[in-house]
Amino acid sequence: MHTDSAASAMTQDELKALVGRAALAYVEPGQVIGVGTGSTVNRFIDALAASKIAIAGAVSSSEASTLRLQAHGIPVFDANEVPELSVYIDGADEIEPGGCMIKGGGAALTREKIVAAQARRFICIADESKWVARLGRFPLPVEVIPMATQRLIRQFAALGGSARVRLRDGVPLVTDNGQHILDVTGLTIDDPLAFESMVNNWPGVVTVGVFAHQRAHLCLLGTPQGVRTIAFDAA
């Protein structure tokens, strides 16, 4: 673990901007990079555009990030056009000391997992409020096929969890993939890898928002003292 130059007391938004800029150190000219989704990633996209680093382009995990990249004149490729990405930069809703994460607060978890699997290195950028000892405080997002919703709610209840369909304007939110999101509370995830494998095998689950198979290699954590650079062994 390494701590960069000290910073005075900062707002959460300022911490997000701080780690967004710090991630530029892992971007090299000429590369195609993976870009995630969310408010922290938006800060990274803006910093990337301002930096004038001449990347070849990006593969994006959401329609929102695609639009933001294109607005800055950064080419966006379909994942099928790029055999491998040098690096994937994304945020997290929670990250624990092993580099496993909960993601999907922005409903892009499935595409985020696909792009992460394509990258040689996953750099997680987050403010210190996302650092936890164990996963489960943040409601766990699960992308599901709608016809399986009620059965999956019952399966999570059998584990002690309470699952609800995520709504937008009073109706179920529809993901970029045309599916719904369950948000599950009341779970403590002691073995993220086993939990991810189990839930992903439930019929009707598109993907669960535990990132253990595609966990982070490195976390840039924004703190009032600066950016903590945390490397995870054998990620």
- Does this model's pTM top 0.85? My answer is yes
Please give the annotated binding residues, written as ranges: 37-40, 90-93, 103-106, 130
Please give the annotated binding residues for substrate, written as ranges: 37-40, 90-93, 103-106, 130
Structural domain boundaries, residue 172 = 140-209
Q: Which residues are catalytic?
A: 112
Tell me the H-state helices in 11-108.
12-22, 39-51, 63-71
Taking 90 as the threshold, does the pLDDT of residue 152 lie above it? yes
Taking 70 as the threshold, does the pLDDT of residue 24 lie above it? yes
148 and 219 share one domain: no
The pLDDT value given to residue 168: 96
Question: Domain holding 191: CATH number?
Answer: 3.30.70.260
111 and 46 share one domain: yes
57 and 77 share one domain: yes
Rounded CA-CA distance 3/228 in Å is 5
30 and 86 share one domain: yes
The pLDDT value given to residue 3: 44
